[in-house]
Amino acid sequence: MGEMVTISRAEYDRLIETAENFADLRAYDRAKAALAAGDDELIPEDAVRRILDGESPLRVFRELRGFTQAQLGELAGVNRVQIADIEAGRKSGSIDTVRKLASALNVAIDDLV
């Protein structure tokens, strides 16, 4: 059997807190590296709030990128009416359509659904 060490509960709690802080710092460093490498981006608070309040993520990201529906449609190869229907919640769009839109907006598909 391996060696055992007994420590106080206070010392144990301090070690756990230190480990959690270290994990948080590593996550922060990974996030900063992803931003610096261009693998991730910061999204403005107002855009996040709009999505959380139920607005169409497609509309929010389209406007964030500065596109009209027609411009996005041309860039993505998707009919402008399809974009309007998705933004209004009348349709959800096929996987292929959402993939094209996500690619044109430079976001993950998950960001749009």
- The number of domains in the chain is 2
Token readout for 58 is 């497609």
Are 84 and 107 part of one and the same domain? yes
Q: How far apart are CA 15 and CA 21, in angstroms?
A: 10
Q: Kindly report, residue by residue over 61-94, the tens digit of the pLDDT.
A: 999 999 999 999 999 999 999 999 999 999 999 9
**In this prediction, what percent of the chain has a pLDDT beyond 70?**
99
CA distances for 94 relative to 5, 29, 48, 97, angstroms: 59, 36, 24, 5
Q: Is residue 25 part of a domain?
A: yes
Residues 58 and 88 in one domain: yes
Judged by DSSP in three states, 90 sits in coil
- One domain, residues 62 and 98: yes
pTM of this prediction?
0.73
Whether 15 maps to a domain, the answer reads: yes
The answer as to whether 90 is a domain residue is yes
Query: Do 66 and 83 have their domain in common?
Result: yes
Residue with tokens 């993939």: 99
